[in-house]
Amino acid sequence: MTSAAAASETSAPGTAPLTAVVTGASSGIGRATATRLAADGWRVLAVARREEKLRELAAETGCEILAVDVTDDDSVAALTARVEDLFGGTLNSIVHVAGGALGVDPVAEADLEKWQGMYESNVLGALRVTRALLPAVRASGRGDVLFVTSVAAHEAYPGGSGYNAAKSGEHMLARTLRLELNGEKVRVIEVAPGMVRTEEFSLVRLGDRDAADKVYEGVENPLTAQDCADVIAYALSAPHHVNLDLVTVRPLAQAAAHRVARHQGV
């Protein structure tokens, strides 16, 4: 769906624009999604921990912003209050992007602090925000809860142990919620990206710029954050009787989480 077509759906004469909360919006897929939805005519509340990055996003897109740590109960309570103030207690969509990977340790050498951090941000963070905002999503009459997981939620790979475990947990959260909401006007959507080259994901995971660059070395056209935002925007803007339960999106060069075509000079 093009931006123009989606905008016509979300801002038709006499109708209020659709509303969304996007977590993890300071960079990468979250930032690209907030930007895309705002361009499509949605009213977007973009949230992340780094307020200075959010201010830059607001200046570029006109979206609303709030500094939120999804691992903190008080911070999520403040998000709930802001949704009430901005959108009158109703909300069309939650887009869960906050999360990420930390390290590539094998199970035998697992860093428990990193595992706990990944579980807190990817699973419990999504749970906190869902639990807090689900009443507003239900009240909208046209609701979506969209989880951006990963192929790591569905395919184990060497070096993925902690991230595999965390994203698998988020995947099961989405599946269970879909069963619990069956019969209500709320879709539960999962988008599972493969290799996406963003400015921070591999750098945060590996802690070294050279190591992060090697992840994509020789790979022709890894996905971009904008590619993922396009998929998310389509899933949210499709007719509401159409539910994309699970979308796996990879670059052509990637056949599986651990199988990527690499070429010299690319």
Task: Output the 3-class SS for 211-258.
Answer: HHHHHCCCCCCCECHHHHHHHHHHHHHCCCCCCCCEEEECCCCEEECC
Q: d(Cα 131, Cα 145) in Å, to the nearest integer?
A: 11
Mean pLDDT by 10 residues, the chain (266 residues): 48 77 96 98 97 96 97 98 96 96 92 96 97 98 98 94 96 98 98 90 79 86 96 98 98 93 83
The reported pTM is 0.92
- For residue 78, give its domain range: 3-250
265 is a domain residue: no
Helix (H, G, I), strand (E, B) or coil at 157: coil
Q: d(Cα 81, Cα 77) in Å, to the nearest integer?
A: 6
- pLDDT of 201 reads 78
User: Residue 20 is encoded by which pair of tokens?
Assistant: 């969304």
Considering the chain, what percentage of its residues have pLDDT values greater than 70?
94
pLDDT in tens, 154-187: 999 999 999 999 999 999 999 999 999 999 999 9
Residue 151 sits in a domain whose CATH number is: 3.40.50.720
As for how many domains the chain has, the answer is 1
Of 119, 163, 216, 234, the active-site residue reads 163
257 is a domain residue: no
Catalytic, 163? Answer yes
Residue type, 240: H
66 is a domain residue: yes
